[in-house]
């Protein structure tokens, strides 16, 4: 559906802003917490566990569930987590590019920078690898920090999670993760956003790390497009799991239509190079001297792609890029250019008719 490509940008922004309002300010507009069985609705995006959120993020829910699972006490409801994993498998990183509140905040920061006429920074290969390694490290901390809980007694005065309204044992993860702080900042809860817990060296170190990551999330997003997404632990998990293989979202390139102009790489907020650089293999000669060549359509879905589809929207070549979901082509490139071509042809035809009339 090439016609829809022309509306992809505005439609995506509308989806992001609507999701941000619902997930961040849901309680303020009358949306109660969505219950699923005995647990809260869990989504594969970065959401804090604040009382103003109608849902909770997958990583935060894992933190709440891990101690109960590891100790075998008070079994945690697993249906919400299973649903979140299923949603992640079906929609892949569309959650990152279209729904995640932190992703939307970064896109707004990029729009602000562009409106001021300021250029963005392009991280080199070493910087990109460092940020990716930081994301994997944060993922490891996310998975293993509940182990600390097992060695701590339930002390109500030393709650480390920002979501202290939940009856949960101490966990440094709540102080480390910057998205809970960023969302608290967006909700106007400045005390929570800049919380420093000095009850021990673990809490002090976790608080300091969380504040540093918050500064990186805010200032980094003003300088680098989708800076936090490059270090996001949930994004690292999705990259390792290759959600695009399990499910639907994928990006395909028609090598015969691609002109290698590099537009896709320039507009990509994640700096993905694979879309431009991947080409069809050279002509192969079989033993029977019959030429064999691979089909022109190649899967160019990258592990770091957040499925924002800016490349599909900006590509100047007809059907060079196609977004598919569950194998079904949904969006193809170059409708805008095709429309301009049609206008030129119509204008030329009108001039020709006028000339014949004279």
- The pLDDT mean for the chain works out to 75
| pLDDT reported for residue 99 | 92
Backbone angles phi, psi at 311, to 5 degrees: -65, -40
| pLDDT reported for residue 255 | 87
Q: Sign of the CA dihedral 323, 329, 332, 335?
A: negative
Q: Sign of the CA dihedral 246, 248, 253, 257?
A: positive
| pLDDT reported for residue 165 | 32
Ordered alpha helix ranges (H), the chain: 8-25, 58-71, 79-91, 94, 101-115, 125-144, 146-150, 173-176, 178-186, 190-193, 201-223, 233-241, 243-246, 263-267, 274-277, 310-314, 335-357
In angstroms, the CA 168 to CA 161 distance is 8
In angstroms, the CA 282 to CA 75 distance is 56
pTM here is 0.78
User: If DSSP codes are grouped into helix, strand and coil, which group holds residue 82?
Assistant: helix
Q: Output b/e per residue, 49-69; b: 16+ Cβ within 10 A.
A: bbebbbbbbbbbbbbbbbbbe
**Average pLDDT per 10 consecutive residues for the chain, totaling 358 residues:** 63 92 78 63 76 73 69 66 85 91 92 89 88 87 65 42 37 71 81 78 80 89 91 86 65 89 92 86 46 65 91 89 88 64 53 57
């Amino acid at each position: 559906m090439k016609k829809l490509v022309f509306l992809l940008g505005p439609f995506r922004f509308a989806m992001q802003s609507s999701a941000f309002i619902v997930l961040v300010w849901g309680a303020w507009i009358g949306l109660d917490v969505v219950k699923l069985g005995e647990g809260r609705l869990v989504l594969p995006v970065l959401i804090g566990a604040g009382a103003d959120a109608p849902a909770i993020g997958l990583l935060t829910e894992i933190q709440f569930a891990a101690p109960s699972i590891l100790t075998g006490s008070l079994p945690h409801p697993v249906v919400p987590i299973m649903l979140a994993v299923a949603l992640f498998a079906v929609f892949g990183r569309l959650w990152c590019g279209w729904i995640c509140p932190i992703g939307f905040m970064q896109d707004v920061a990029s729009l602000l920078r562009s409106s001021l006429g300021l250029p963005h920074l392009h991280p080199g290969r070493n910087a990109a690898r460092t940020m990716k390694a930081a994301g994997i490290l944060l993922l490891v901390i996310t998975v293993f920090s509940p182990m600390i809980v097992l060695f701590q007694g339930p002390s109500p005065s030393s709650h480390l999670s920002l979501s202290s309204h939940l009856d949960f044992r101490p966990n440094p993860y709540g102080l480390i993760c910057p998205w809970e702080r960023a969302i608290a900042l967006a909700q106007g809860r400045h005390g929570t956003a800049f919380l420093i817990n000095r009850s021990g060296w673990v809490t002090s170190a976790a608080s300091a790390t969380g504040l540093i990551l918050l500064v990186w999330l805010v200032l980094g997003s003003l300088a680098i497009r989708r800076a936090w997404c490059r270090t996001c632990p949930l994004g690292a998990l999705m990259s390792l799991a290759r959600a695009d293989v399990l499910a639907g979202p994928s990006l395909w390139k028609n090598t015969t239509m691609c002109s290698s102009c590099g537009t896709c790489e320039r507009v990509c907020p994640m700096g993905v190079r694979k879309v431009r650089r991947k080409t069809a293999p050279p002509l192969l000669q079989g033993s029977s001297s019959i030429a064999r060549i691979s089909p022109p359509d190649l899967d160019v879905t990258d592990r770091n792609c957040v499925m924002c589809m800016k490349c599909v929207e900006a590509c100047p070549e007809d059907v060079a890029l196609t977004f598919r979901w569950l194998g079904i082509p949904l969006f193809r490139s170059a409708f805008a250019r095709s429309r301009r071509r049609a206008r030129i042809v119509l204008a030329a035809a009108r001039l020709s008719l006028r000339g014949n009339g004279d």
